[in-house]
Each structure stands twice: as C-alpha cells, then as structure tokens.
Structure 1
Amino acid sequence: MKPAFKILSPTAILGYGFPEESFRRAIAEKPDLIAVDGGSSDPGPYYLGAGKAFTDRTGVKRDLRFMITEGVKHGIPVVIGTAGGSGAAPHLEWCRQIVLEIAAEANLSFKMAVIPTDVSKDVVHAALDAGKIEALEFVPPLTHEAIDATTNLVAQMGVEPFIAALKAGAQVVLGGRAYDPSCFAALPIMLGYDEGLALHCGKILECAAIAATPGSGSDCAMGILDETGFVLKTFSDERKFTPESAAAHTLYEKSDPYMLPGPGGVLNLRECKFEDIGNGQVRVTGSRHEHTPYKVKLEGSRPVGFRTVAIAGVRDPIMIKSIEEILQAVRQRVENNLGANADAKVFFHIYGKNGVMGDLEPVKQTQTHELGIVIEVVAPTQEAADTVCSLTRSTLLHYGYPGRVATAGNLALPFSPSDIRAGVVFEFSVYHLMDLPQEDLFPFHMQQVTPQGVTA
C-alpha cells in the first residue's frame, strides 16, 4: 500500500500571491511536493510574442521566496511549470534570475534543473512539410510564412521532462511552457501513482483555491493522492471544497466534459466521482489516463501592428438609442479622411451593450442609462495608430446625430491625455498540434545554485 502523497499548490499563477497563514498551515502538514503553474496563454499573445511576463516581478519573487525557502529547508521538491508566464526563453531566464536572487538573499544552495521548451523553426517547418502538424478547431492551417513571422515559439511539454529532471536529483525544477497539470503530476507518476489520478489532481490544483468555494486564485490548496483516488483540501477558514466546486473546475476551459486531451494521452472522466467527506474536503475517484499518439501543442505569436486606445463614456439617451448607427457613420467619416493611413483598423467596444460578447451577445436592446466606449485603433506604425485614434475620438466627440440637443460634446473622457499608446500588437500565429519529432525535445540543464551564483 502506497502512503498518501501530498501536493501543495500555493497559488493559481506564480505572482498572484497567497496568505502566509495558509502557506504555513500547509507546510505544517509536510507536503511531498510544492508545485505551481507559472503562467498561461489566457492573457493573450502579447506576452509570448514580446517575451514579457504578465505578472509582477515583486509578486513572483515573493511567492517563490516562500516556496523555495521552505522547500529547500524541508527537502521538498519545488516544481514550476510555464515559468515567467509564457514559458519561452526570455520568460524562463527572467524567472531563473529571480530564483538566483532568492538563493543569494536567503543563503540557499540546491540543484536546479532548467527545462527550455522553445522549438526550432526548422523543426516546425520540417514537420509541416511532412504533414505532421494539424490545426486545432477554429484555427487556420499553419503556413511557413506564419512560422517565419513568429517571434517566440514554444511547445507544451508533458510530465516526462519533469520526471527526467527529478530523477537526476533536482531540488528545484524550472520549466518552460508546460501542460498545466504536468508540474503537479510528474513526481507522483514517477513514484508509481496512477497517471489518471495524478493528472486529474493536477488539473484541479493548477488553479489552487479557485477550485474551492468561495474560489480564490490567491490562496493555497492541497491534493492528497493514494492508490484509488485523491482528496482536495484548503487551508483558509474562509474556503472549502465541495463536489460541485471540484467538478466545475474539472470542466474549466474544456469543450468535452469527459475526455480531456493532453500530451500523449487523454484523461477519461466518464467514471469519475466527487464525494463530500466532510471538513470542507472532497474525495475524487475513477479518473483514468488513456495513452494516444504523442502530440505536443505549439504556441507562437507574431507582431501585426501598433495600438492606440481612447476610453469614453456616453449618457445621452438619444445617443445610446442609436449608438450602432452613430458609430457606423463615424467610422465611415473617419475612413473618408484617412488618406495615407488607410491601412489602419478601427474598432469600437461598447460596454453596457455588447462589449464583452460582441456579435455573440443575445440581448440586442440595451436598457442601460450609460455606455462605456473603448476606441481601439491598430495600424502599421504607432504614429499612424495615434493619428487615426485622435481623428476617430474627435469625430465621435462632436458628431451631430439626429435629435442631438447639446453641442458641447458627446463623450465624457475620464483621462487626460485621452489617447493611450498601447504599443506593439501581437496575434497567435501558431496554435497547432505537432507529432513529437524526438523523445528528447525538452532536454534539461542541471545547475548547482549557491548564494554566490551558479556553478557547473
């Protein structure tokens, strides 16, 4: 009979934070693993393309200081997936430097494995030519032009690279882009625990206490694995797990409630059960992992222009009633005046009407007394975006629509200056599945970390 294996997930994403009291309570239960999902593609393509983190460095360092200090002190492995937010080389190095700072300040020494997940464009070009790349649903087929235009290109690794690093004796594992459950599931799978249970447990723990009720991405959760299931628990008196909260999070971001695909397999949840065992804890059983041909998800983004935005409010009921017609007329007038800036694209986001869902919004007639309008312009240069945004904002501000009474201006502008440069715009250029071209696609580099730095 295997002993219970305790996995501590301190926070939903590295840098989101957690109460120190919750963390101390969790450490008192002597976890066998501290793991955290360092990022996601959810914040969009900019962070991957620009090589920047979407969480604050101070917050990330604070979270890592607790995790690494306690992990090294108690001999608990610390495993981080999708470091730096997007997991490409600049994100991984950004996070590695934070770890080195912590080691120096806390006088720590440990072995750290760093696992890059960047994929060579040559590898992807060859896979495309060989017919070994497929588009995900609603994604256009991949082209060589899209590959060449991509700035950072990564692949989601599964548990295998983490296992290799842990077997080699790593105390801290810093991974690039990873399938979210991998950093949680790798060590228990290495130790012989059931793959399906470990991956399902990791799937829930990836967002820590978001899967509890009331949910929070800034609080700790623990999964306790055994041979037939796992138990979920929190460490804050404010939260508890329920069968509904655990099951709901299992469905999070998934189009199929029963079959959850990942690198090299599918998590089959058709026989899964969620049981309330009291004290705010839930026991989960019946999860199975079924192996499939090994594919990895590729992610890459490319620059497509520059953005400028302006934010405004509207409260005139006459204008609100005809807002769609007014915006269309403004758009037409702006297009007639663009001249050399004809390549610019103008978007209106109408909050209070359909700003969240756009054309998919089922409620067609708004009853609101005010609207928020975000004017967005994307153009080939920042200067062109600035010019067109200024023209659009001023045209809408003074547009004379039918029934208009006031002449001072149609918009309430909360900021001065009213137009905000948002910089380079990226779009996902690669979001496809690729057959694993080689078993060692994600080799790790072992480093001996000391307070003085890194030694070979």
Structure 2
Amino acid sequence: MLYANADPFLLHEPGGHLDVRVARYNALDNRRVRVEGSRWVPGPCTVKLEGARAAGYQTTILAVLRDPHHGAHARAWVARLTACLRVSIKRRMGLSPDAYGLEVRLIGVDTALGAPENRAGAPGEVGVLGIVTASSQPQASEIGKLINPFVLHCARTDDEELPTFAFPCSPATTGRDAPYEFALNHVMRPVLVITLAPLIARLLRIR
C-alpha cells in the first residue's frame, strides 16, 4: 500500500480497488503479520498504465574531508561550496540554476535523508558526493570538470587559507549517463478498443 501508491489506504487496480481504511495489522511474531478487515471494491474494467522517462544525464564527483574543522562544519561548507559553484557555472557556461541540477550529499552525515537528517555525530572523515544533472552528458561532464577544483580547495570562509581535500580516485568525476524516474502510474478506463486481427486479415485477403 505504500509502494508507488498515492494513497496508503486505497489501491486502485484493474477491475476495482482495495480499501484498507479499517484494516487491522497484528504481529504474529518477528516475521509474520496478520491483516484483517481489507475490502475489495469491484469497479469498471480498467487498465493499469506505468511508465518511466529519462531524467537528464548525470556526472558524479567524489571527494573526502578529513580535516576536523571542515568535517565538523560540513553542512555550512556545502552551503558555501554550492553558492560559489552557482556563480562560477553561470559565469563560465551561461547556465542559470534551473537549467541543471546540482546536489551535494555528505557520506557519513546526511547521505540518505539530506536536509531532514536529525542525527549528529563526529565522523573521522566525511565523503562529499556531488551529483550533476544536465540536459546532455557532455554538459553534465563539463559542469563536473568545472566544479572539480572547488570541491578540492573550497574554504569554509573568506578568512581561512585554502584547504586541500582528497580525491579517492582519478579522474574524480564519473559519467553516469541517463538516470530514469517514474513518469506515469495511472489506472485508466478504456474508451475505445480496436482489434487489429480482423483488419489485418481483411487487408491480406484484398491483396
């Protein structure tokens, strides 16, 4: 009910929908759950449509922060890094922020959840994963090359000396090609159904 479904209580499928608004979930043990009270509601004949589309083209870059000062202030560093990158990409490539995607995730800090992460800690090192999404692979790769020196040497403030971080591999950037995302998940009632077999048979007889 939670997977790829807009409503966690109503699941629309061909021929009706599953209603679990009054369902009861009881744990029988550590591996089994008994579900009672679900109701199948018959409906008109429908078809399920699902689809995916390319969500641009991506290049990633990976660096590692081992400096305790920058590791302790990693999120503030990312905010400054991102602001500097936006300005540089606009100046050197003429791209506004809405023409590409730029995301920086901190491995060991907030990789899974990003901004909503509420756990705090002091890891010995922090991985910096930059994800660039653009309209073409060459453009994504070019942005990756442009941000390379910033990820390696960006200081947290103007008053600090330029640091040097680590690239765990060379080249630091990797082209990922096109990632895909769900673009269609819909139950549709057919309006017109055309059977092609009789039409093809008739055309063959004519020839």
TM-score norm. by structure 1 comes to 0.35
Alpha-carbon distance between aligned partners in 2 of 1:330 and 1:312, rounded to the nearest angstrom: 17
- Structure with bigger RCO (C-alpha 8 Å, 6+ apart): 2
Matched, 1:358 2:114: yes
RMSD between aligned residues: 3.6
Q: Pairwise mapping of residues 172-321 of structure 1 onto structure 2 (< 5 A)?
A: 252-253=2-3, 258-269=9-20, 270=22, 274=26, 276=28, 286-320=37-71, 321=73
Matched, 1:431 2:185: yes
Give unmatched runs, 5+ long, in structure 1: 1-250, 442-456
Alpha-carbon distance between aligned partners in 2 of 1:331 and 1:297, rounded to the nearest angstrom: 43
TM-score norm. by structure 2 comes to 0.68
- Conservation of the 8 A alpha-carbon contact between 1:347 and 1:375: yes
Which residue among 174, 184, 187 is the counterpart of 1:420? Answer: 174
Alpha-carbon distance between aligned partners in 1 of 2:32 and 2:86, rounded to the nearest angstrom: 58
Alpha-carbon distance between aligned partners in 1 of 2:33 and 2:79, rounded to the nearest angstrom: 53
Matched, 1:334 2:106: no
Which of the two has greater helix per residue? 1
Task: Quote how far apart the aligned CAs of 1:386 are.
Answer: 1.0
Task: Quote how far apart the aligned CAs of 1:258 are.
Answer: 4.7
- Conservation of the 8 A alpha-carbon contact between 1:330 and 1:396: no
- Conservation of the 8 A alpha-carbon contact between 2:59 and 2:140: yes
Alpha-carbon distance between aligned partners in 1 of 2:108 and 2:27, rounded to the nearest angstrom: 40
In structure 2, relative to structure 1, the CA distance for the partners of 1:263 and 1:378 (3 Å cut) is: same
Which residue among 53, 72, 77 is the counterpart of 1:323? Answer: 77
Q: Tell me what 1:391 maps to.
A: 146
Alpha-carbon distance between aligned partners in 2 of 1:256 and 1:432, rounded to the nearest angstrom: 12
Alpha-carbon distance between aligned partners in 2 of 1:439 and 1:416, rounded to the nearest angstrom: 56
Give unmatched runs, 5+ long, in structure 2: 196-207
Alpha-carbon distance between aligned partners in 2 of 1:283 and 1:366, rounded to the nearest angstrom: 37
- SS of 1:385 mapped into structure 2: helix
Alpha-carbon distance between aligned partners in 1 of 2:6 and 2:179, rounded to the nearest angstrom: 28
Aligned residues: 186
Alpha-carbon distance between aligned partners in 2 of 1:375 and 1:337, rounded to the nearest angstrom: 20
Which of the two has greater strand per residue? 2
1:335 aligned partner, one-letter code:
I
- Conservation of the 8 A alpha-carbon contact between 1:330 and 1:392: no
- Conservation of the 8 A alpha-carbon contact between 2:17 and 2:42: yes
Q: Tell me what 2:204 maps to.
A: none
2:108 aligned partner, one-letter code:
G
Percent identity of the aligned residues? 25
